């Protein structure tokens, strides 16, 4: 007699009770998987993306985390600007000895809810991600003198339908009251997917960003609009410019890694009253350690408790059914099945219920993550999918087997102690 078939038939005979216990287990495992995967993937993505070819972000004084979220992830609202002259101090002034690469960026505009990033060609040529250089799926990078050239991230191109050669008009701020600029930017290139926030960025030439009338600080708005209407585009004087932030990769000194030059540069900048310098990876680590990790632990404890309660439900369900199954157990014993065999079958039933519910929960959990992927990407710039896994998931199956064994022991012990003679007499 096949033990697995007997255990499975026993589960089928109890119908609704088995379904309910399996469903509760699936719900618990689904939540555990969702918490583990989302936390793991998002944490890794945020930490990995906190250094996209640079190790310091320089911006206006204020909230350090706001500066990082706004500049690196394009999430928070744009911060205040700093003078362009401070960027020059990094490239050719008193901070030059500390700096290997410095890329200015200007933020404040959007296109269809995607952040517009005004910068120099070096953003895509000198920086990178995960040790890789940016690759173009189509087209090329804009040149310094192509004032109204633009490059789209992979997600932007997919969701807007813009192609190389198309034009678009950025808007100032967002929502129904957004002011659409008259200046048209031409798509010159589309980036291959990178898995970074830049997939959701509209990267334009900073020179064109400055020439948008609403952005000019060297002349009044009416004059700026008149010049734009006449097509008279001359670069804005350097002393009339501002930047939102500067992305800095510190210099390598005497063969030492660039990270060694970061502390003195950060200290020197922060001692001044114009700007602040922050390390993105440190700010993100503080955020996760202070807020995200404790929340993850709380959610994980709650979801594990659901799994444990589901296990107790399996215990109660099987134990309550033992009085109805005493005749079946007695017949098995009369046919030669030993006490250990009967006990093992009950344990198998508990394990099958747990594993069936756990497998269903695992599949549904990953399906839920895939379903929420567009929303997660929109809110965080981080892409997740069905096949995203974390190492902690390997503990789920052994954990379910252990839990099923523990909760199945009591009904299995009851089956072990079944009096064959009384059970056969009570139910002929």
pLDDT value for 248: 93
Report whether pLDDT(330) > 50.
yes
pLDDT value for 124: 95
DSSP 3-state of 79? coil
Residues 6+ apart with CB under 8 A from 340: 416
Pair 366, 386: CB distance under 8 Å: yes
Question: How far from each other are the two terminal CA atoms of the chain, in whole angstroms?
Answer: 22
Report whether pLDDT(24) > 90.
no
Pair 42, 35: CB distance under 8 Å: no
- The arithmetic mean of pLDDT across residues 350-367, rounded, is 84
Report whether pLDDT(18) > 80.
no
Mean pLDDT (the chain, rounded): 81
Q: Return the higher-pLDDT residue of 351 and 111.
A: 111
- Please name which of 345, 353, 348, 343 lies closest in space to residue 414, comparing C-alpha atoms: 343
Domains of the chain, by residue range, sit at 3-46+286-426, 52-278
Q: How confident is the model at residue 349 (pLDDT cuts 50, 70, 90)?
A: confident
What length is written for the chain? 428
List, as own/partner pairs, every contact residues 86-89 make where C-beta atoms lie below 8 angstroms and the sequence separation is at least 24, other chains included.
86/58, 86/243, 86/246, 86/274, 86/275, 87/243, 87/246, 88/238
Q: Return d(Cα 183, Cα 242) in angstroms, integer.
A: 20
Condensed to tens digits (0 to 9), the pLDDT of residues 417-428 reads 555 555 555 554
Mean pLDDT comparison of 36-50, 66-80, 364-378, highest-scoring range: 66-80
Angle at 377 between CA 373 and CA 382, to 5 degrees: 105
Residues 6+ apart with CB under 8 A from 295: none
Q: How confident is the model at residue 292 (pLDDT cuts 50, 70, 90)?
A: confident
Report whether pLDDT(87) > 90.
yes
Share of the chain above pLDDT 90, in %: 32
Whether pTM exceeds 0.85: no
Instruction: Retrieve residue 17's tokens.
Output: 């009770």
Phi first, then psi: what are they for 312, rounded to 5°? -65, -35
DSSP 3-state of 110? strand
Report whether pLDDT(15) > 60.
no
Report whether pLDDT(11) > 80.
no
- Please name which of 139, 100, 141 lies closest in space to residue 119, comparing C-alpha atoms: 141
Residue 277 belongs to what H/E stretch?
strand 275-278
Q: Return the higher-pLDDT residue of 325 and 227.
A: 227
Among the residue ranges 28-42, 106-120, 145-159, 380-394, the one predicted with the least confidence is: 380-394
- The arithmetic mean of pLDDT across residues 280-300, rounded, is 82
DSSP 3-state of 91? helix
Pair 382, 372: CB distance under 8 Å: no
- As a whole number of angstroms, the longest Cα–Cα distance in the chain is 105
Pair 369, 384: CB distance under 8 Å: yes
Q: How confident is the model at residue 416 (pLDDT cuts 50, 70, 90)?
A: low
Condensed to tens digits (0 to 9), the pLDDT of residues 101-160 reads 999 999 989 998 899 999 999 999 999 887 789 999 999 999 999 999 999 999 899 999
DSSP 3-state of 116? strand
pLDDT value for 30: 85
Q: How confident is the model at residue 2 (pLDDT cuts 50, 70, 90)?
A: very low
Q: Return d(Cα 368, Cα 299) in angstroms, integer.
A: 17
pLDDT value for 53: 82
Angle at 101 between CA 100 and CA 106, to 5 degrees: 150
Angle at 66 between CA 185 and CA 201, to 5 degrees: 25
Q: Return d(Cα 369, Cα 397) in angstroms, integer.
A: 20
Q: How confident is the model at residue 335 (pLDDT cuts 50, 70, 90)?
A: low
Q: Return d(Cα 187, Cα 165) in angstroms, integer.
A: 5
Q: Return the higher-pLDDT residue of 111 and 327.
A: 111
Report whether pLDDT(47) > 70.
no
Cα dihedral 33, 38, 44, 45 sign: positive
CB atoms within 10 A of CB 84: 20
Q: Return d(Cα 390, Cα 24) in angstroms, integer.
A: 23
Q: Return d(Cα 347, Cα 255) in angstroms, integer.
A: 63
Q: How confident is the model at residue 240 (pLDDT cuts 50, 70, 90)?
A: very high
pLDDT value for 104: 96
Q: What is the DSSP-derived secondary structure letter of residue 129?
A: B
pLDDT value for 345: 75
Share of the chain above pLDDT 70, in %: 79
- Please name which of 157, 125, 155 lies closest in space to residue 143, comparing C-alpha atoms: 125
């Amino acid at each position: 007699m096949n033990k697995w078939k007997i255990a499975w038939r026993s589960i089928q005979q109890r119908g609704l009770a088995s379904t309910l216990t399996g469903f509760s287990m699936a719900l618990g495992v689904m939540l555990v998987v969702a918490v583990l995967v989302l936390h793991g993937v998002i944490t890794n993505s945020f930490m990995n993306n906190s250094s996209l070819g640079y190790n310091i972000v320089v911006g206006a004084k204020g909230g350090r985390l706001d500066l990082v979220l706004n500049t690196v992830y394009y999430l928070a609202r744009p911060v205040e600007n700093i003078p362009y002259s401070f960027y020059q101090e990094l490239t050719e002034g008193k901070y030059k000895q500390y700096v290997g690469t410095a890329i200015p960026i200007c933020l404040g505009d959007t296109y269809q809810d995607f952040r517009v990033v005004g910068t120099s060609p070096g953003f895509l040529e000198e920086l990178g991600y995960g040790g890789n250089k940016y690759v173009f799926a189509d087209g090329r990078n804009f040149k310094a003198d192509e004032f109204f050239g633009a490059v789209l991230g992979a997600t932007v191109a997919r969701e807007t339908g813009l192609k190389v050669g198309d034009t678009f008009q950025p808007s100032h701020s967002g929502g129904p009251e957004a002011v659409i600029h008259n200046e048209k930017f031409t798509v010159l290139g589309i980036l291959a997917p990178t898995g970074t926030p830049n997939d959701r960025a509209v990267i334009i030439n900073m020179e064109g960003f400055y020439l948008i009338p609403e952005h000019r600080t060297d002349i009044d708005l009416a004059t700026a609009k008149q010049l734009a209407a006449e097509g008279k585009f001359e670069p804005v004087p350097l002393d009339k410019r501002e930047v939102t932030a500067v992305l800095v990769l510190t210099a390598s000194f005497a063969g030492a890694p660039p990270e060694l030059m970061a502390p003195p540069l950060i200290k020197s900048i922060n001692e001044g009253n114009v700007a602040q310098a922050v390390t993105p990876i440190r700010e993100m680590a503080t955020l996760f350690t202070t807020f995200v990790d404790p929340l993850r632990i709380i959610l994980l404890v709650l979801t594990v408790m659901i799994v444990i309660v589901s296990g107790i439900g399996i215990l109660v369900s099987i134990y309550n059914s033992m009085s109805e199954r005493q005749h079946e157990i007695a017949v098995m014993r009369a046919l030669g099945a030993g006490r250990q065999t009967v006990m093992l079958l009950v344990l198998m039933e508990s394990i099958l219920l747990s594993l069936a519910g756990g497998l269903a929960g695992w599949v549904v959990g990953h399906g839920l993550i895939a379903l929420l992927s567009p929303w997660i990407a929109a809110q965080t710039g981080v892409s997740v999918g069905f096949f995203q896994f974390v190492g902690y998931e390997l503990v789920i199956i052994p954990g379910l087997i252990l839990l099923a064994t523990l909760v199945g022991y009591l009904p299995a012990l009851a089956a072990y102690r079944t009096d064959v003679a009384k059970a056969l007499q009570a139910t002929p």
